[in-house]
Amino acid sequence: MNEISTVTEAAAKAVKKPALPDAQTVTEVTHWTDRLFSFRVSRPASLRFRSGEFVMIGLMQTDEKTGKEKPLLRAYSIASPSWDEELEFYSIKVQDGPLTSRLQHIQPGDEIILRPKPVGTLVHDALLPGKRIWFFATGTGFAPFASLLRDPQTYEDYDEVIITHTCREVGELEYGKQLIDGIRKDEMLEELIGEGFHEKLRYYPTTTREESPKMGRITDLMRKSEVFEDLGVEALRPETDRAMVCGNLAFNLEIKEMLEEYGLREGANSDPKEYVVEKAFLD
């Protein structure tokens, strides 16, 4: 009797939940604010990627016209480093967003679709060698840097690594803050980063709509030279500085113009130069 009911249950499950194409299993979900969450999923054994790249991920959805199930996919930067055995993603929650309105409800054990074809421009290969690298992020644009900041190559290639993160509210900085704290405590990375005065990693968080120790858009703080004074560094120069940018569209366009004014040129995988830009995902 028991056996029959087990078989029936399994069959019912199989009918209700068809195997997803390129399915990966969710292992952990963290909600940071009512607008932000991060999650970890299993990593396909064959997936190799360069820190800073993105993949297409998503869920199945029913096509309104045909009633058929089809994948709904979006580009998500991989937030975990290439040595991690799982994959991590950092996402916005848009209540009426086609994907994130549903994705925000995933739980450990659920499956998502992950196309194992990583691509992207925020990679070390797209930049010429330099002394100092700037990572400029707004909002969820922090994600590719969460990967690059945990990649030993970042500290091997540069004498100084500066990550700036501008968000509307203090709570939106928490994911990045905890990640930086984790890096400073990580045995492998700690040695590469150094300590105290000699520490290579500089973290510069700012908020625009809630009181915090450093307020203002990073672009305005750069125009006023406040960032450079705070960090005790010179303004960017093409001879020494490299930059990667990831944020909302308006931010990307504005900072791109500023970087060009400093004399930096946009690079690509096939033509490395002094800076690269990518748009943060918005549902």
Residues at the site binding ligand A2P, with contacts judged by CB under 6 A: 138-139, 166-168, 208-209, 217, 219, 247-248, 250-251, 254
As measured in angstroms, the least distance from the Cβ of 250 to ligand A2P is 4
As measured in angstroms, the least distance from the Cβ of 67 to ligand A2P is 35
Question: Measured between alpha carbons, how far is 19 from 262 in angstroms, rounded to an integer?
Answer: 51
Specify the residue, 41 or 258, whose C-beta has the smaller distance to ligand A2P: 258
As measured in angstroms, the least distance from the Cβ of 251 to ligand A2P is 4
Helices (H) and strands (E) in the chain, counts: 9, 11
As measured in angstroms, the least distance from the Cβ of 35 to ligand A2P is 8
- Whether the CB-CB separation of 227 and 221 falls below 8 Å is answered with yes
Specify the residue, 115 or 217, whose C-beta has the smaller distance to ligand A2P: 217
Specify the residue, 80 or 138, whose C-beta has the smaller distance to ligand A2P: 138
Specify the residue, 60 or 99, whose C-beta has the smaller distance to ligand A2P: 99
As measured in angstroms, the least distance from the Cβ of 150 to ligand A2P is 22
- Whether the CB-CB separation of 27 and 42 falls below 8 Å is answered with yes
As measured in angstroms, the least distance from the Cβ of 223 to ligand A2P is 10
Question: Please, what's the b/e burial string for 73-85 (b: 16 or more CB within 10 A of its CB; e: otherwise)?
Answer: bbbbbbbbbbeee
Q: Which of 139, 167, 164, 138 is nearest to 149 (CA)?
A: 164
Neighbouring residues of 154: CB distance < 8 A, sequence distance ≥ 6: 51, 124, 133, 148, 161
Specify the residue, 98 or 216, whose C-beta has the smaller distance to ligand A2P: 216
Question: Measured between alpha carbons, how far is 154 from 122 in angstroms, rounded to an integer?
Answer: 12
The single-letter DSSP state of residue 110 is: -
- Whether the CB-CB separation of 78 and 24 falls below 8 Å is answered with no
Specify the residue, 94 or 106, whose C-beta has the smaller distance to ligand A2P: 94
The single-letter DSSP state of residue 76 is: E
